[in-house]
Structure 1
């Protein structure tokens, strides 16, 4: 995270085209991926779906790095960081997310992951010594209250009864894994490496971890025959990974992990809209108030005059 090293961005840095455009592209794509992930859960074990996703994404990311003429050779510290990012982001995070969607609607999982700014900022404070502002703390408290109401609504409505809380725990684990990756890739070692080069190696290590985990949990490889499944996998691999992660990690280095994770505001709106249209998500007064509080809290933090992380 380089916001401090590169100087404080102005209060409305997110409105600059160079930041706003990739910020919105990432949010729009990731907002749609939640529903695609949900559609894959019945076609193959989650671990193999994740493996196929990154088996497609990894060579594509190496190709992007080569096309951009970025050096692919990493030193030992670079490879250690790539392993950490690969295991947390491209293995742990996604394995927890896919399984969370077995117990929660895609919209609810998206809302929870939308609070990524909380662990991002806390870890940035602990690991990188960056300041947490009062406005951020207030916004986070408001957003957490909103998420609590949304989850209470889900617990009342979900047919799986108590298992909804297993989905909550899985989503929280996914958020923690993503946060570790977000913060650590922006340390001094990460800042010295081209983003696409680090991502290419991280995806390679993450894919290897995914394959081993899939074999241990689900047995031999499962190859669905549905064309829709593979179109969805290709979309998740190319649009949802190769296009978005270089943009997102660059945003983290430009404006900090906390501010970059604010794209979750837009992700939540898109994911909940899709969940309403295609998953028959049932709104209630409780859910509506919860959603408004969650968005209000994120907006309060977004309007902070100083970089959060």
Structure 2
């Protein structure tokens, strides 16, 4: 059980940390909403075929479909509309840093929807996380253009993260009601893809398809690895250990995303970025580990953080 949980945790971190670098590859000739519809439409098709091949039950009641549709719109629809828009103006690694605040959002929403108690550590962690995000984005904020594209991207990322957190709550509710993860994901992705396709059609967007290796490769990766495997791993983990603890993987995947952004997007680490990421991680750790362990971790990594900052 423990081994399986660790595998699910590690898979989620590595997969989702890498998907942020693939999202900007979807921007260009194909409108963002259409790309998302392609992504989750393909993922839904693969999941439904797999469920059929393994003879899983695919018959559910109307009320169950409503809940699966709600999960789909929050996790595979509206949130990605905002993330894809934000990706046009800031690097994927920075979006991942913003997305890591979902750990605090999940705990707060868990208190609102499930009556879970919010500790002082959560409040302190949220404050550290927000301060860290401000530091990470300080160079971008200083160089804001006339239309405030960077600020707009930050806000879009935060709203998208909150929608994702709300989707986590719906998924937790669905699993507590005995709705299976794979079937819920299959139908949820289908509903999300359908609604986004309708939105794109209503906007008059063109349903074109780019045949370049960059676009098709990133689409296949996002659909099959990022969506089918990534969401399967995370939502299984969520059902097993709860939305608050499942969100702990968000502590690590921004580091994976920023590392990839450094290599592929020429992201430059500034002293503010090093300090900011450190604060985000510290805030998340403060939320998820006991106080004494947190202080022990800080004592271990403080010299390393200080040394890297001085080297910058």
* TM-score, structure 2 as length reference: 0.88
Pair 1:35–1:159, CA change in 2 (3 A): farther
SS at 1:139's partner residue? Answer: helix
Q: How does 1:23-34 map to 2 (within 5 A)?
A: 23-34=9-20
Q: How does 1:169-208 map to 2 (within 5 A)?
A: 169-187=155-173, 191-208=177-194
SS at 1:187's partner residue? Answer: helix
Pair 1:69–1:82, CA change in 2 (3 A): same
- Alignment RMSD, CA only? 1.9
**How far does residue 215 in structure 1 lie from its aligned partner after superposition?**
1.9
> Where does residue 127 of structure 2 map in the other structure?
141
Q: How does 1:97-246 map to 2 (within 5 A)?
A: 97-157=83-143, 162-187=148-173, 191-246=177-232
Unaligned runs of 5+ in 1: 1-12
Please give the alpha-carbon distance, in whole angstroms, between the structure 1 residues aligned to 2:5 and 2:290. Answer: 17
Contact between 1:110 and 1:267, CA under 8 Å: does it hold in 2? yes
Q: Which runs of 4+ in 1 moved over 3 A?
A: 157-161, 188-191
Question: How many equivalent pairs are there?
Answer: 291
Please give the alpha-carbon distance, in whole angstroms, between the structure 2 residues aligned to 1:64 and 1:138. Answer: 44
Please give the alpha-carbon distance, in whole angstroms, between the structure 2 residues aligned to 1:31 and 1:157. Answer: 27
**How far does residue 97 in structure 1 lie from its aligned partner after superposition?**
0.6
**How far does residue 275 in structure 1 lie from its aligned partner after superposition?**
1.0
SS at 2:172's partner residue? Answer: coil
Unaligned runs of 5+ in 2: 292-312
> Where does residue 291 of structure 1 map in the other structure?
277
Please give the alpha-carbon distance, in whole angstroms, between the structure 2 residues aligned to 1:139 and 1:132. Answer: 11
**How far does residue 133 in structure 1 lie from its aligned partner after superposition?**
2.6
Please give the alpha-carbon distance, in whole angstroms, between the structure 1 residues aligned to 2:65 and 2:273. Answer: 44
* TM-score, structure 1 as length reference: 0.89
Please give the alpha-carbon distance, in whole angstroms, between the structure 2 residues aligned to 1:188 and 1:37. Answer: 28
Contact between 2:68 and 2:174, CA under 8 Å: does it hold in 1? no
**How far does residue 243 in structure 1 lie from its aligned partner after superposition?**
0.7
> Where does residue 236 of structure 2 map in the other structure?
250
**How far does residue 268 in structure 1 lie from its aligned partner after superposition?**
0.5
**How far does residue 225 in structure 1 lie from its aligned partner after superposition?**
2.2
> Where does residue 71 of structure 1 map in the other structure?
57
Please give the alpha-carbon distance, in whole angstroms, between the structure 2 residues aligned to 1:134 and 1:20. Answer: 28
Please give the alpha-carbon distance, in whole angstroms, between the structure 2 residues aligned to 1:23 and 1:136. Answer: 21
SS at 1:222's partner residue? Answer: coil
> Radius of gyration: which is bigger?
2
Deviations, residues 97-128 of structure 1 (Å, cap 9, x unaligned): 10011121111100011111122111111111
Please give the alpha-carbon distance, in whole angstroms, between the structure 2 residues aligned to 1:210 and 1:188. Answer: 22
SS at 1:131's partner residue? Answer: coil
SS at 2:51's partner residue? Answer: helix
Pair 1:190–1:75, CA change in 2 (3 A): farther
